[in-house]
């Protein structure tokens, strides 16, 4: 039998998000220590991380060093893929220049790269671990390229990890995502995903699984984070098949660590911004306009709250500045 533990979206950082009431770095340390202890107690053969190990690719060495010491306490190897927060410009090719790449170089974690699967073999069972890190075209191209691993290693079972927006129900227009129902034919025996923080638990069909237990870190502003508890999955691979079990971590309830007033304010602001974007789409055709023209036209629009308009302008200006900087390099 081969045993493993899966967790995702730890979003390690050295500061506390403004919507948290606790000291987030200490809280996330305690959660990861729980995970490592649980893995050691269950004597797993490996741990698997679904991406967004860190909240930014260039986190301070002092913070990374503290968490590296915790990861070192694992008795089994830790495999991981990179998430959108782990790399520069959401480009997985930059991972060697990041703190996650540093952990990989030092052997604290082992990165799984596309088309470079790893093999775990024990008791006559061969498990292939493959991964798809976050990239710009994820959930916007043929899903077979990201969700259907190929058996390259004569494996008994295929476990695949993708840092993707895999969800049960369709998301608003403009948010790239893939529906679970559309990839039920995946070649993976177990497909793990991250990125979507709320998760959707364990889905099983004909002995195959699609699973996202949700983020270990609760740092976004969605109301569902108030109710959700951090969870990991322990898997057992037998010659006869695979079994997955969810394990909740010890953690404070949402109302004790999340500032509800901020959550509601941010959620309302996002709703108004989305409505504004829809209004812009309905009133203007930007296909032939330059970014500067778009910004000017939006600024001239009426019947839009000042804060909403300013936020839209700010986001578009940041994008424009990035494009200009990239063109000049």
Confidence at residue 256, expressed as pLDDT on a 0 to 100 scale: 76
The angle subtended at Cα 161 by Cα 157 and Cα 164, nearest 5°, is 145
Beta bridge partners of 166: 178
Same-domain check for residues 211 and 225 = yes
Question: In angstroms, rounded to a whole number, what is the distance separating the alpha carbons of residues 128 and 268?
Answer: 44
Same-domain check for residues 142 and 28 = yes
Sequence-ordered list of residues with C-beta below 8 angstroms from that of 253, at least 6 positions apart, any chain: 229
Same-domain check for residues 53 and 138 = yes
pLDDT beyond 60 at 82: yes
Place 153 in a pLDDT band, splitting at 50, 70 and 90: very high
Same-domain check for residues 216 and 307 = no
- Of 240, 255, 270, the one marking the end of a domain is 255
pLDDT beyond 60 at 14: yes
Same-domain check for residues 226 and 267 = no
Same-domain check for residues 136 and 285 = no
Range of the domain at 307: 260-328
Place 294 in a pLDDT band, splitting at 50, 70 and 90: low
Confidence at residue 329, expressed as pLDDT on a 0 to 100 scale: 45
What average pLDDT does the segment 85-96 reach? 92
Worst-scoring range by mean pLDDT, 133-137, 203-207, 307-311? 307-311
pLDDT beyond 60 at 106: yes
pLDDT beyond 50 at 51: yes
Same-domain check for residues 52 and 162 = yes
Same-domain check for residues 145 and 202 = yes
CA dihedral 252, 8, 90, 15 (to 10 degrees): 30
- Of 207, 238, 255, the one marking the end of a domain is 255
Sequence-ordered list of residues with C-beta below 8 angstroms from that of 235, at least 6 positions apart, any chain: 3, 4, 5, 6, 159, 190, 242, 243, 244, 245
DSSP structural state of residue 92: G
- pLDDT (tens digit per residue) in 40-49: 999 999 999 9
Q: Alpha helix (H) ranges present in 22-164?
A: 24-41, 61-71, 99-105, 144-147
- Residue 257's closest CA among 14, 1, 53, 22? 22
Confidence at residue 196, expressed as pLDDT on a 0 to 100 scale: 94
Q: How far is CA 150 from CA 99, 155, 186, 248, in A?
A: 29, 10, 10, 32
Q: Which residue has the higher pLDDT, 244 or 270?
A: 244
Average pLDDT, the chain: 86
Same-domain check for residues 249 and 264 = no
Same-domain check for residues 192 and 282 = no
CB 53 within 8 A of CB 268: no
- pLDDT (tens digit per residue) in 170-184: 988 888 999 999 999
Residue 71, CB-side half-sphere exposure with 13 Å CA sphere: 26
pLDDT beyond 90 at 202: yes
Question: Residues of 173-207 as b/e, b for ≥16 C-beta within 10 angstroms?
Answer: eeeebbebeebeebebbbbbbbbbbbbbebbeeee
Domain count, the chain: 2
Place 186 in a pLDDT band, splitting at 50, 70 and 90: very high
Domain of residue 18, CATH code: 3.60.21.10
Q: Which residue has the higher pLDDT, 291 or 156?
A: 156
- Of 200, 229, 255, the one marking the end of a domain is 255
Same-domain check for residues 155 and 294 = no
pTM value is 0.81
- pLDDT (tens digit per residue) in 254-283: 777 777 665 555 556 666 666 666 665 555
pLDDT beyond 70 at 211: yes
Question: In angstroms, rounded to a whole number, what is the distance separating the alpha carbons of residues 299 and 310?
Answer: 8
Worst-scoring range by mean pLDDT, 66-70, 169-173, 218-222? 218-222
Question: In angstroms, rounded to a whole number, what is the distance separating the alpha carbons of residues 317 and 298?
Answer: 12
Same-domain check for residues 161 and 207 = yes
Q: Alpha helix (H) ranges present in the chain?
A: 24-41, 61-71, 99-105, 144-147, 254-257, 260-283, 291-300, 306-328
């Amino acid at each position: 039998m081969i045993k493993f533990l899966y967790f995702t979206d730890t979003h390690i950082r050295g500061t506390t998000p403004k919507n948290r009431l606790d000291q987030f770095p200490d809280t996330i340390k305690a959660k990861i220590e729980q995970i490592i202890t649980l893995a050691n107690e269950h004597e797993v053969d490996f741990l698997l991380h679904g991406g967004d190990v860190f909240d930014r690719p260039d986190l301070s060495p002092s913070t990374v060093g503290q968490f590296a010491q915790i990861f070192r306490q694992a008795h089994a190897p830790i495999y991981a893929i990179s998430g959108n927060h782990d790399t520069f410009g959401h480009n997985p090719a930059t991972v060697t220049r990041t703190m996650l790449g540093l952990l990989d170089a030092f052997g604290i974690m082992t990165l799984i790269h596309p088309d470079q699967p790893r093999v775990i073999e024990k008791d006559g069972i061969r498990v292939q671990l493959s991964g798809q890190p976050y990239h710009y075209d994820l959930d916007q191209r043929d899903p077979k390229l990201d969700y259907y691993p190929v058996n390259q290693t004569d494996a008994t079972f295929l476990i695949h990890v993708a840092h993707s927006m895999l969800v049960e129900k369709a998301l608003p227009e403009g948010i790239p995502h893939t529906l679970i129902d559309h990839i039920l034919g995946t070649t993976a025996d177990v497909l793990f995903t991250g990125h979507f923080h709320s998760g959707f638990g364990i889905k099983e069909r004909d002995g195959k699984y699609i699973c996202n237990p949700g983020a270990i870190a609760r740092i976004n502003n969605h109301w569902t984070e108030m109710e959700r508890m951090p969870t990991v999955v322990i898997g057992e691979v037998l010659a006869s098949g695979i079994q997955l079990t969810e394990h909740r971590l010890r953690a404070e309830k949402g109302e004790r660590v999340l500032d509800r007033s901020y959550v509601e304010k941010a959620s309302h602001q996002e709703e108004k911004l989305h409505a504004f974007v829809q209004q812009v789409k309905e009133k203007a055709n930007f296909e032939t306009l330059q970014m500067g023209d778009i910004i000017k036209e939006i600024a001239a629009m009426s019947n839009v709250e000042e804060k909403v308009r300013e936020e839209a302008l700010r986001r578009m200006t940041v994008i424009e500045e990035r494009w200009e900087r990239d063109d000049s390099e």
